[in-house]
Amino acid sequence: MCGRLSQYRGLHEFADALNMEGVWRSNVDTQPLQRYNVAPSTSVAVLRCDEGGPRADLVKWGWRPHWATDRAAPINARIEKVAHSPFFRSIWPNRAIVPVDGWFEWVDEGGPKKQPYHIRRRDGHPALCASIGQFCNRESDGVVIITADALGGMIDMHDRRPVVLSPNLACEWVQLNMAIEQAEQMALNLGEPAELFEWYRVSTAVGNVRNQGPELILPVL
């Protein structure tokens, strides 16, 4: 999975996709986010549960433990390793959903530059990406998206894909009482299949993180 995504709907639309019982607490504006080109180290909307119930927050995309000062903060974590990795051990129990309208990949098609593609669900619903993070209201907070091997035609875009969960499984994923072993098996085996997604060419303007307009997700020839 490449390091760009889109989050342009309003928070209520993302929360509605989970259809979770309880009153959502939020520090995210209720207006549409209108972010069409979200880059690493910037804030993303995150849905999760704490002792008070469902909540939404803006959290930095990327995290590293306090002792890992020799590398940049990863934005993704491989499901094949994350549950048993010393790097992510402290946040593996802190499960969340990063709801996205889509994400971008760059493909080498033989031209002078790689061609960007936007990937999204065919049914128009948000993609509910399994994630983990640190949510302590500190500067060191952050979230990483869990990835798996790409499947089907999606492998032509990139060899990795975010683990996208169905709404029912996403609700289970964020529950505090889920066993960590069960969470690992869910992410390993129950991600949404490639045929539920579509991908199409978009403007190379998405390569500049300063560009943020809706034209970035329009198909181009």
**57: its two tokens:** 């927050």
Would you say residue 31 has pLDDT above 80?
Answer: yes
Domain assignment of residue 25, yes or no: yes
Greater confidence (64 vs 110) lies with 64
pLDDT tens-digit map of 130-176: 999 999 989 999 999 999 998 877 877 788 999 999 999 999 999 99
Of 49, 105, 129, 171, the active-site residue reads 105
- Overall domain count for the chain: 1
Q: What is the CATH number of the domain that holds 23?
A: 3.90.1680.10
Residue with tokens 């995504």: 5
Domain assignment of residue 50, yes or no: yes
Domain assignment of residue 51, yes or no: yes
Residue 212 carries which DSSP code? -
Domain assignment of residue 200, yes or no: no
pLDDT tens-digit map of 185-201: 999 999 999 999 999 99
Intra-chain end-to-end CA distance of the chain, in Å: 23
Listed in sequence order, the residues at least 6 apart from 149 whose beta carbon sits closer than 8 Å to its beta carbon are 155, 159, 160, 161
Residue 97's DSSP bridge partners are: 47, 130
Domain boundaries, position 97? 5-102+126-193
> What is the average pLDDT score of the chain?
93
Percent share of the chain, pLDDT over 90: 82
Q: In 10 A of CB 24, how many CB atoms?
A: 17
Would you say residue 72 has pLDDT above 70?
Answer: yes
Domain assignment of residue 26, yes or no: yes
- pLDDT value, residue 156: 75
- pLDDT value, residue 19: 83
* Count of positions (residues) in the chain: 221
Is 2 annotated as catalytic?
A: yes
Beta strands (DSSP E) in 19-123 are 25-26, 35-38, 43-50, 53-60, 76-78, 95-100, 102-107, 115-121
Domain assignment of residue 110, yes or no: no
> Which H/E stretch holds residue 17?
helix 11-18
Q: In 10 A of CB 72, how many CB atoms?
A: 10
Residue 124: pLDDT band with limits 50, 70, 90: very high
Would you say residue 1 has pLDDT above 70?
Answer: no
Domain assignment of residue 142, yes or no: yes
pTM for the model stands at: 0.95
Domain assignment of residue 64, yes or no: yes
